[in-house]
Chains A and B, each alone.
Chain A
């Protein structure tokens, strides 16, 4: 009896040792594979950053940042109009795109789940929203060209901001909806139990509570539209002049990079690299600043309650 017991024990122990060896082996293997994937994902990112930094940093100086371009190939002047244009177009696009996108997200998450007809509408809305995120930006550029450029008779910042906001809205809407849904229902119910009206619950509890998520969505949208080239070719055309009026062509960084890269002059390439580096820095600093603001806010709320 005892002996048999011991045998079982040793058999179990053996198998545990065996199994654990196998498990450890598999664990290690999977860890290595996963790590390899991370490395594969990081290599292009890092090499792009290093390359852009190496090639672009030499172009940086005050003239480069503030002057309009000199004649091509001369290495004079800078990309002032492109910087101004990108800030303005992305700024205006965000002014339109962010609120609309967030409100669409609020509707989908808070208002659309009441009656069945609402739900069907919300389903369609979500579907079209997803389709919108998948539409190539060139196509949206053509829409802007036909509806605004041809109607106004000139390339303009209005058309550029319009197409960029169209690209931005579905991204912001999708992310906002997902973050709003993460707010636990009990918080909403607590609000209703205290007799708070619906819009107050939505605004003060749900939206404010998921601020950092919403900001993330907006940052995602901004970084996406800041690098768009194709729709801008068809709407703002590009120029070497600073902004002068709402119905004349403006410049933007991605457009300028593309134009500089297709020239045969090394100095133009140098400026193109510089512009690329600047674009990356702008998007990066914008997202860091916005994230810091939203995170500090979130932290503060938690300590206050």
Chain B
């Protein structure tokens, strides 16, 4: 009997220990290291691998600053930023006019660039398919239904195309990727613009939905004669077939880090200041000979007056600024291996101006 009650006591105390030990260790930790700062952020899923790499790498640069980023989607990022539950938000789509007004002086800090590729599954076709904006729009509008449609044939005279029907795959969840893709189609096709429009989730005229880049790519690999859109970083790591696209200048461009960078450089001169609204900023259908047409910034959003968010104190404000200054300069070297496009110098300059314009309780923040 004593043996059994002992067992029980041991069990209960083990349970209690498993909960208490981490508590004690952590409180001891925080007592020793008073300077530790945790920066909480949330938002877009697209830049998550890059920001997560920054989290680990920045620990090596400044061990006292912890970065905590949760990928909850662009919409969620904007909402939590407006509700001030996180220190910074992240989004693929710039703040809308209403959100910009609601936030009272937010700033946009483009932290990396991504592009969207048209990925397809065509058994027997080995040469990369060539597509143009209007043809893509027609495919996703359901107007081109067969692979050997004359419009596709015209772009690919040397490819024998099967006469199978096209299976269109799109995202079923709200996504920054969808925003970039539909933004491009709206620019290219007036019909798309009036019928479907551009948003993080739209009413698709045709096709099957799949969740996440993962789901879309699995659907494409699983069903022959299908086409869909995924992020470049994803297509590169998963080795899928993707189409070369005709850009504004009329050239066919392979999606790559270089061609996306060309698109950004071509648009860099037209960018607003970080403190201005970015609602109309778009890198899609960019001018330039080598520009890939479906590219987009992804942004960190902050309040210009950092103390607007009550959970940011002077020390945290300083840490946020130093982290972001590091991310847009030294941090950019981690983008290429992950399939992201590094920021061109012109954009880094805009970001640096934005960061130096930030204030805490009215006074500028020195990171020295």
The judgment on whether A and B are partners is yes
Spell out A's residues near B (CB within 8 Å).
Answer: 69-74, 76, 84, 87-88, 91-92, 149-150, 153-155, 233, 237-245, 248-249, 259, 261-265, 289, 293, 296-297, 300
5 additional contacts (CB under 8 A) given A248-B40, A263-B214, A264-B238: A69-B52, A76-B56, A237-B40, A237-B72, A296-B7
Instruction: Find chain A residues with CB under 8 A from B234 CB.
Output: 264
> Do B72 and A249 have beta carbons less than 8 Å apart?
no
23 A-B pairs, CB-CB below 8 angstroms? Answer: A71-B52, A71-B53, A87-B19, A88-B19, A91-B15, A91-B18, A91-B19, A155-B40, A237-B72, A240-B52, A241-B38, A242-B22, A244-B36, A248-B38, A259-B71, A262-B45, A262-B212, A263-B49, A264-B214, A264-B233, A296-B8, A297-B8, A300-B4
By Cβ-Cβ distance, the 5 closest A-B pairs, closest first, are A71-B56, A71-B53, A72-B52, A91-B19, A239-B68
Contact of B11 among A69, A238, A289 (CB under 8 A): A289
Instruction: Find chain B residues with CB under 8 A from A300 CB.
Output: 1, 4
CB distance from A255 to the nearest CB of B (A): 9
> Do A241 and B22 have beta carbons less than 8 Å apart?
no
> Do B56 and A241 have beta carbons less than 8 Å apart?
no
Judge whether B258 is part of the interface by a CB distance below 8 angstroms: no
Known: A264-B214, A264-B238, A296-B4. A155 touches B52 (CB 8 A): no
Instruction: Find chain B residues with CB under 8 A from A238 CB.
Output: 70
Instruction: Find chain B residues with CB under 8 A from A264 CB.
Output: 213-214, 217, 233-234, 237-238
Judge whether B30 is part of the interface by a CB distance below 8 angstroms: yes
> Do A73 and B19 have beta carbons less than 8 Å apart?
no
**Which partner residue on chain B sits nearest A85 by CB separation?**
B22
CB distance from B63 to the nearest CB of A (A): 13
In the complex, what distance in Å separates the CA atom of A94 from the CA atom of B341?
47
> Do B30 and A244 have beta carbons less than 8 Å apart?
yes
> Do B7 and A293 have beta carbons less than 8 Å apart?
yes
Near A by CB (< 8 A), chain B positions 284-324 give 310-311
CB distance from A84 to the nearest CB of B (A): 5
> Do A70 and B22 have beta carbons less than 8 Å apart?
no
Near A by CB (< 8 A), chain B positions 7-57 give 7-8, 11, 15, 18-19, 22-23, 26, 29-30, 36, 38, 40, 42, 45, 48-49, 52-53, 55-57
Interface of B, secondary structure class, is: helix
Known: A70-B56, A242-B26, A244-B26. A249 touches B68 (CB 8 A): yes
> Do B237 and A265 have beta carbons less than 8 Å apart?
yes
Instruction: Find chain A residues with CB under 8 A from B8 CB.
Output: 293, 296-297
Contact of B55 among A149, A233, A240, A242 (CB under 8 A): A240
**Which partner residue on chain A sits nearest B36 by CB separation?**
A244
**Which partner residue on chain A sits nearest B334 by CB separation?**
A71
**Which partner residue on chain A sits nearest B233 by CB separation?**
A264
CB distance from B75 to the nearest CB of A (A): 13
> Do A237 and B45 have beta carbons less than 8 Å apart?
no
In the complex, what distance in Å separates the CA atom of A154 from the CA atom of B311?
8
> Do A150 and B83 have beta carbons less than 8 Å apart?
yes
**Which partner residue on chain B sits nearest A264 by CB separation?**
B234
Spell out B's residues near A (CB within 8 Å).
Answer: 1, 4, 7-8, 11, 15, 18-19, 22-23, 26, 29-30, 36, 38, 40, 42, 45, 48-49, 52-53, 55-57, 66, 68, 70-72, 83-86, 212-214, 217, 233-234, 237-238, 310-311, 338
**Which partner residue on chain B sits nearest A304 by CB separation?**
B1
Which of A88, A240, A289 is packed against the most chain B CB atoms within 10 Å?
A240
**Which partner residue on chain A sits nearest B68 by CB separation?**
A239
In the complex, what distance in Å separates the CA atom of A188 from the CA atom of B234?
67
CB distance from A51 to the nearest CB of B (A): 17
Instruction: Find chain B residues with CB under 8 A from A293 CB.
Output: 7-8, 11
CB distance from B209 to the nearest CB of A (A): 15
CB distance from A59 to the nearest CB of B (A): 18
CB distance from A28 to the nearest CB of B (A): 43
In the complex, what distance in Å separates the CA atom of A241 from the CA atom of B72?
17
Known: A91-B15, A154-B311. A233 touches B72 (CB 8 A): yes
> Do B85 and A153 have beta carbons less than 8 Å apart?
yes
CB distance from A248 to the nearest CB of B (A): 6
In the complex, what distance in Å separates the CA atom of A92 from the CA atom of B72?
25
CB distance from B175 to the nearest CB of A (A): 11
In the complex, what distance in Å separates the CA atom of A69 from the CA atom of B72?
18
> Do A150 and B85 have beta carbons less than 8 Å apart?
yes
> Do A149 and B23 have beta carbons less than 8 Å apart?
no
Instruction: Find chain B residues with CB under 8 A from A262 CB.
Output: 45, 71, 212, 214
> Do A72 and B49 have beta carbons less than 8 Å apart?
yes
Known: A71-B53, A73-B49, A262-B212. A237 touches B38 (CB 8 A): no
Instruction: Find chain B residues with CB under 8 A from A296 CB.
Output: 4, 7-8
**Which partner residue on chain A sits nearest B3 by CB separation?**
A296
> Do A243 and B26 have beta carbons less than 8 Å apart?
yes
CB distance from B55 to the nearest CB of A (A): 6
In the complex, what distance in Å separates the CA atom of A84 from the CA atom of B19?
8
In the complex, what distance in Å separates the CA atom of A259 from the CA atom of B66?
19
> Do B84 and A153 have beta carbons less than 8 Å apart?
yes
Instruction: Find chain A residues with CB under 8 A from B338 CB.
Output: 73
> Do A243 and B52 have beta carbons less than 8 Å apart?
no
Known: A91-B19, A259-B71. A244 touches B38 (CB 8 A): yes
Instruction: Find chain A residues with CB under 8 A from B213 CB.
Output: 264
In the complex, what distance in Å separates the CA atom of A248 from the CA atom of B85?
10
Contact of B30 among A84, A87, A245, A289 (CB under 8 A): A245
In the complex, what distance in Å separates the CA atom of A70 from the CA atom of B52?
8
Instruction: Find chain A residues with CB under 8 A from B4 CB.
Output: 296-297, 300
> Do A249 and B40 have beta carbons less than 8 Å apart?
yes
Instruction: Find chain A residues with CB under 8 A from B22 CB.
Output: 84, 87-88, 242-243
In the complex, what distance in Å separates the CA atom of A154 from the CA atom of B217?
35
In the complex, what distance in Å separates the CA atom of A15 from the CA atom of B40?
81
